Chains A and B, each alone.
Chain A
Amino acid sequence: MINRRYWPTVTAWIGAAIVAAFIVIAIFAPWIAPFGESQSVGETWQPSTNTYWLGTDNIGRDILSRVIYGARTTIGVALVTTVLSFMIGITTGLLAAVGGPAIDQVLSRLVDVILSIPLLIFALIILSMMGSSLITLVLTIAVLDSTRVFRLARSVAQNIVVLEYVEAARLRGEGLPWIIFREILPNALPPMISEFGLRFCFNFLFVAGLSFLGLGIQPPLADWGGMVRENGGAVFGGKAAPLWPALAIALMTVGVNLVVDWILSMNARPSGASAEM
């Protein structure tokens, strides 16, 4: 019997459709986009026409093409960042839970220190000191974000570490890697997967935010946060140019959240409504 509980809800389908559409756009950008990423193709600030569906920007680039290429950079950077952040966070978090009080204390206090500094300020300081290359950007956000993943992974793992199958592995004489990756990780994954969606959203907004401040992805690469910045002034001229990348940011965030909601509801217990209250 197929369990109906795991069927996606209507909102989950909508979210999945949005996310899937953006991913397809990101992957096939060069084939879909009518013009090049940083190619000036016409007059500046043109309204929507048959050639330039969403108009052109401050230096005459096609906005539709840039939104399409922007999907690539923005989503790509956010995704790589989140994957990296989870790799760091899960490994350290599980190590803290398994490796004994000394390791736990060192790691946890280090994380406390990082968490005590506001994230955006921290990122701004590092990026303005180190310069904003794509690699520094990804590494900075990943390390900062992994502190949150660390916290979750550690607390989830702490509940699993005390179970007897982990003790059985210890008694067998297994080393830390086996205990962490074979005994604990598979059981810690379900809550981590829904967290992945949420962290992705956050990193995605963080990248867009940094780009908007000019310290994220650098021109001439197209990215949604940077596009809002470049075209921001046009709003006062009554032009829609900055709204398109902003809309893309909003749509992607909503889409991911809808999917995450569904995953979370799946992990939750079956509807526990009793016969009566």
Chain B
Amino acid sequence: MAKAILKITNLRVESINGTVLVENTSLELKPGEVLGLIGESGAGKSTIGLASMFYARAGCRITGGTIEIDGQSIGDLSADGRRDLRGKRIAYIAQSAAASFNPAHTILDQVCEMPVIHGLMTRAEAKAWALELFKALDLPKPETFGNRYPHEVSGGQLQRAMTAMAMSCKPAILVFDEPTTALDVTTQIEVLVLIKKLIRDFNTAALYITHDLAVVAQVADRIMVLRHGKMMELGDAKQILTAPTTEYARALVTERAASDKLSVAVAPAKRQPLLDVQNAMGVYHKFVAVNNVSISVAQGETVAVVGESGSGKSSLARLIIGLLPRKAGTVTFGGRELSPALKQRSKDDLRRIQFIYQQPDVALNPRQTIGNVIGRPIEFYFGTPRAEVKQRVAKLLTQVGLPEDYAKRLTTALSGGQKQRICIARALAAEPDLIICDEPTSALDQLVAEDILKLLKKLQDDLGVSYLFITHDLGIVRRIAHRTAVMLRGQIVAEGTTPQIFAPPYHPYTERLISSVPEMRVDWLDEVLARRRRAQV
């Protein structure tokens, strides 16, 4: 049995005001082994990842436990000793590659910097090694790739370039912190494949941090489930996926598995379309973001628009509400044509379409009380007297599952999920016919997102409101949408009832999207690759 290369014992991390972020966590990593750390935000995954290099974020401190690399406790080393270790023996790969590269230097310069500084290689050697890494990571034109600046390459390529940077000193341990979370599913799969290959080829040990069980299942040998800074469960990847022992792990697994299945959404009887968009075209400066798109939503129906980032789905939503100028086509709502410009729409037209944003944090004014936020649309659209507004706000709060006395609180005093509920209450306050939801759950944790989806569904059953649901997450589409439209480069490439979209014959792009969503099986990634290889032959 090989000796542990990284050993963390009884780790404890606190913030400066005394909140315990991580406590009593121990782990061991053997050469070539990959350990997945999984949990919701605030579970302490990243804190542990950083602590493995004996580093704590601003405002945090490691207050207990030992961290050993190659049997040497890093806590006992001098600052210089630690600096020498970091990058050389253990390297970190962050979630946002774009924020981790210096935009003023070429990629090659940044990849070569570390081995030269550590005195491991000469610059020429470092360059040759970087080229090899670029090739191993399947980057386009590896010879010249490094001469480009970070903004000149795509997000997936930049994430791979950061992996190359982390590998530049040939470290024994890599810490991946949500490396594919910011990427589209089709890009994620490419990056996952390469990370997996790299780890195997160089026999590197790794900590892989993510919130997506299906992703970690593809790369990790063992999985540690974390919650509120404590370890809930540690086990073999297969065991965690198929037979989790703790309740929390089980909830995570069932919830993730549910998104793979089609829920029985019975399409409402064919009715007159409430919203009808015909041949719409929207242009940002000279870029055509929405090109000849037609879509309709009936009363009480949920229509999902899916696509990867940059496909124009959000632009379509902005075109409908009048924020993106419409160059051609018509938008009819409730039998009346809507003006392309927001300012020319009547108050009633504005009231009947409401919008829910992706980031509840910035969608609520931090200086207003919840009562004001929800009460304003009531006052504004209906001219309701104060006392009645108060009652209505209380009723709306109950409707979205929050206590009535929240009305007096400031919006900043809530969690992300609660904030999103407030946004929903604000939309409902206007008594709309259609609510456009722009990725309303993608900034939320899995279990919280699930509750929000349930709430939206319940509100639809109770109130008969229609949704136009913008999302990149096929799992959500399967569960909530009656009909689905798939967007690619500003156009709708496939449209139909959700069961139609998710059953053969697929549109080639839809098939690619569907097959790229990780599934909850440890050998899923290898299967997909094998299938795609066969298809190419």
Task: Across the interface, name the chain A residue whose C-beta is closest to B356.
Answer: A168
Write out, one digit per residue, whether chain A residues 150-172 have a CB within 8 A of any chain B CB (1) or not (0): 00000000000001110110111
Q: Is A183 an interface residue (CB 8 A)?
A: yes
CB distance from A143 to the nearest CB of B (A): 29
Determine whether the beta carbon of B55 is less than 8 Å from that of A168: no
Cα(A204)–Cα(B377), bound, Å = 44
CB distance from A168 to the nearest CB of B (A): 6
Determine whether the beta carbon of A165 is less than 8 Å from that of B363: yes
CB distance from B396 to the nearest CB of A (A): 16
Cα(A236)–Cα(B355), bound, Å = 74
Task: Across the interface, name the chain B residue whose C-beta is closest to A270.
Answer: B59
Complex interface: chain B residues within 8 A of A173 (CB):
345, 347, 350-351, 380
Cα(A173)–Cα(B379), bound, Å = 13
Complex interface: chain B residues within 8 A of A186 (CB):
365, 367-368
Determine whether the beta carbon of A171 is less than 8 Å from that of B355: yes
Determine whether the beta carbon of B58 is less than 8 Å from that of A272: yes
Complex interface: chain A residues within 8 A of B135 (CB):
none
CB distance from B39 to the nearest CB of A (A): 22
Q: Is B366 an interface residue (CB 8 A)?
A: yes
Determine whether the beta carbon of B350 is less than 8 Å from that of A171: yes
Complex interface: chain A residues within 8 A of B359 (CB):
164
Determine whether the beta carbon of B365 is less than 8 Å from that of A167: no
Cα(A171)–Cα(B363), bound, Å = 12
Task: Across the interface, name the chain A residue whose C-beta is closest to B349.
Answer: A173
Number of A-B contacts (CB under 8 A): 61
CB distance from B511 to the nearest CB of A (A): 34
Cα(A171)–Cα(B338), bound, Å = 14
Determine whether the beta carbon of B55 is less than 8 Å from that of A167: no
CB distance from B481 to the nearest CB of A (A): 23
Complex interface: chain B residues within 8 A of A183 (CB):
365
Q: Please give the number of chain A residues whose Cβ is less than 8 angstroms from any Cβ of chain B in the complex.
A: 22
Q: Which of A244-275 contact B (CB under 8 A)?
A: 270-275
Q: Is A218 an interface residue (CB 8 A)?
A: no
Between A163, A171, A182, A275, the greatest number of chain B beta carbons within 10 A of the residue's beta carbon is seen for: A275
Complex interface: chain B residues within 8 A of A164 (CB):
357, 359, 362-363
Complex interface: chain A residues within 8 A of B362 (CB):
163-165
B58's contact among A165, A170, A174, A274, by CB below 8 Å, is which?
A274
Q: Is B413 an interface residue (CB 8 A)?
A: no
Determine whether the beta carbon of B367 is less than 8 Å from that of A187: yes
Determine whether the beta carbon of B79 is less than 8 Å from that of A276: yes
Determine whether the beta carbon of B376 is less than 8 Å from that of A172: yes
Q: Is B262 an interface residue (CB 8 A)?
A: no
CB distance from A258 to the nearest CB of B (A): 26
B380's contact among A172, A187, A275, by CB below 8 Å, is which?
A172
CB distance from A97 to the nearest CB of B (A): 16
Cα(A259)–Cα(B382), bound, Å = 46
Determine whether the beta carbon of B377 is less than 8 Å from that of A172: yes
Cα(A174)–Cα(B367), bound, Å = 17
Determine whether the beta carbon of A274 is less than 8 Å from that of B350: no
Determine whether the beta carbon of B58 is less than 8 Å from that of A273: yes
Cα(A270)–Cα(B377), bound, Å = 36
Cα(A276)–Cα(B345), bound, Å = 56
CB distance from A89 to the nearest CB of B (A): 20
Q: Is B290 an interface residue (CB 8 A)?
A: no
Q: Is B60 an interface residue (CB 8 A)?
A: yes
Cα(A269)–Cα(B55), bound, Å = 20
Complex interface: chain B residues within 8 A of A275 (CB):
55-56, 60-62
Q: Is B57 an interface residue (CB 8 A)?
A: yes
Complex interface: chain B residues within 8 A of A163 (CB):
362
CB distance from A193 to the nearest CB of B (A): 13
Task: Across the interface, name the chain A residue whose C-beta is closest to B350.
Answer: A173
Write out, one digit per residue, whether chain A residues 178-193 have a CB within 8 A of any chain B CB (1) or not (0): 0000110011000000
Q: Known: A272-B59, A275-B55. Contact between A170 and B342, CB under 8 A?
A: yes
Q: Is B267 an interface residue (CB 8 A)?
A: no
A174's contact among B79, B82, B321, B380, by CB below 8 Å, is which?
B380
Q: Which of A117-168 contact B (CB under 8 A)?
A: 163-165, 167-168
Determine whether the beta carbon of B58 is less than 8 Å from that of A167: no
CB distance from A158 to the nearest CB of B (A): 15
Q: Is B120 an interface residue (CB 8 A)?
A: no
Complex interface: chain B residues within 8 A of A165 (CB):
362-365
A168's contact among B57, B58, B62, B355, by CB below 8 Å, is which?
B355
Closest 8 A/B residue pairs (Cβ) = A186-B367, A275-B56, A272-B58, A164-B363, A165-B365, A173-B350, A274-B58, A164-B362
Extra inter-chain contacts (9) besides given A186-B365, A272-B59, A274-B57, CB under 8 Å: A171-B350, A172-B350, A172-B380, A183-B365, A187-B366, A270-B59, A275-B56, A275-B61, A276-B79
Please report A residues at the B interface, Cβ cutoff 8 Å.
163-165, 167-168, 170-174, 182-183, 186-187, 270-277
